[in-house]
Amino acid sequence: MKKFLIGILLLLVVAAIAVFTLAPGMTERSMNTVDGKPLPPVSDEARTLHADLFIVDLHADTLLWKRSMLDAADRGHVDLPRLQAGNVGLQVFSSPTKTPKDQNYDNNSADSDNITLLAIAQLQPIRTWTSLLERSLYHGEKLDSAVAGSDGAMVKVDSAPSLGALIAARSGEAKPVGALLSVEGLHNLEGDIANLDALYDAGVRMAGLTHFFDNEIAGSMHGEEKGPLTDLGRAAVRAMEDRGIIIDIAHLSKAGVAEVLAMARRPVVSSHGGVQATCEVNRNLTDEEIRGLAATGGIIGVGYWEGAVCGTEPADVVSAMAHIRDLVGIEYVALGSDYDGAVEVRFDAAGVIHITQALMDADFTAREIRAIMGGNAMRVLGQGMIPLAELPQASEDTAEGTES
């Protein structure tokens, strides 16, 4: 009997080791995939132009997963070597803190959470097992640790001067990769707007108001009620604008989007998604919303996956970009991959040149390509990180959309 009990105990230990060492990687491997389908050839002309671009991607969920950001990985979409290979100048790293069971685009309750199980399986600090705020602070620590361990190859961007320093550095031979922290849903405020200070101190400079469920801030496009901003949400929007945290309307309900665009004093971002005109999925922006976002001086990050552009071909991505350009102008188009966000794509961060090639194939000019691939994002991020009081002629009475 004693030997039998020892055997059972050993089996349990082995099973526990498997869960904590193998399961997180297996989970990511099954969720963040590249479809492996053929890609059009890349021309020498595209390679020459791409090498001279400053590329900004507005959304990747890499911090969610248990792997080094500095080492080349055989799973997922983003790590430092792949960002370098893709000539990415600045990557916005999002902090997702809660996702519902059976997540879908249409209707999700806030009563369940997959990320709690992931946090435990990854053996994250115990403080992250029960606190959404602590999960974002932990993600900020992970990003800071990667920057510190990169020997200068990755630098943190959390202000207009630090963005300017990155741009200057990349004009030389070193070409460091910038890293900016965002959050995906302000449920991590845990109902207390004072927690916005903790997020800001951690380096958060962009924040989505909701994710896949309604929260204390606003309704989600994928929630049960899909309502407008709450009083706390309105206060959060004002506080974000004051501090220099860029407002991201990705995943926000239609009522919430309309309210944010009506009250915005600063450029608003849709960090990752698509447009209804080319892909009729509920999370994508209508023409009215595109016009409203453009009126704030903001940008739309176009994603690379099926739910954003109804395909994974580079041409599908460019089709959405062309619609935005033709509707409101080239200055409102940007990249928003949603890499490492449980999506299937055609290419990872090393292959962003395929967007450059597809834009060239669609007869976009070099000037337009520079704007889309990073110029527009640099403008909005650089201005958006400046506290409102430090902007020229800043006041509570500033007209909507004129702070750009």
Residue 113, pLDDT score: 97
Render pLDDT for 300-326 as a digit per residue (tens, 0 to 9).
Answer: 999 999 999 999 999 999 999 999 999
Render pLDDT for 233-250 as a digit per residue (tens, 0 to 9).
Answer: 999 999 999 999 999 999
Render pLDDT for 139-187 as a digit per residue (tens, 0 to 9).
Answer: 999 999 999 999 999 999 999 999 999 999 999 988 999 999 999 999 9
Q: Report, in this order, helix, strand and coil percent for the chain, each rounded to 5.
A: 45, 15, 40
Which CATH class, in words, describes the domain spanning 57-72+79-390? alpha beta
Residue 392, pLDDT score: 85
Q: Tokens 């902007």 appear where? A: 391
DSSP 97: -
Q: Please give the structure tokens belonging to residue 300.
A: 């739309």
Task: Give residue 402's pLDDT band: very low, low, confident or very high (50, 70, 90).
Answer: very low
Residues 6 or more apart in contact with residue 238 via CB below 8 angstroms: none
- Across 184-200, average pLDDT: 98
Instruction: Give me the DSSP letters along 237-297.
Output: HHHHHHHT-EEE-TTB-HHHHHHHHHH-SS--EEEEE-BTTT---TTSBPHHHHHHHHHTT
Render pLDDT for 265-305 as a digit per residue (tens, 0 to 9).
Answer: 999 999 999 999 999 999 999 999 999 999 999 999 999 99
Higher pLDDT, 404 or 366: 366
Residue 398, pLDDT score: 38
Separation CA 42–CA 45 (nearest Å): 8
Residue 365, pLDDT score: 98
- Across 95-114, average pLDDT: 97
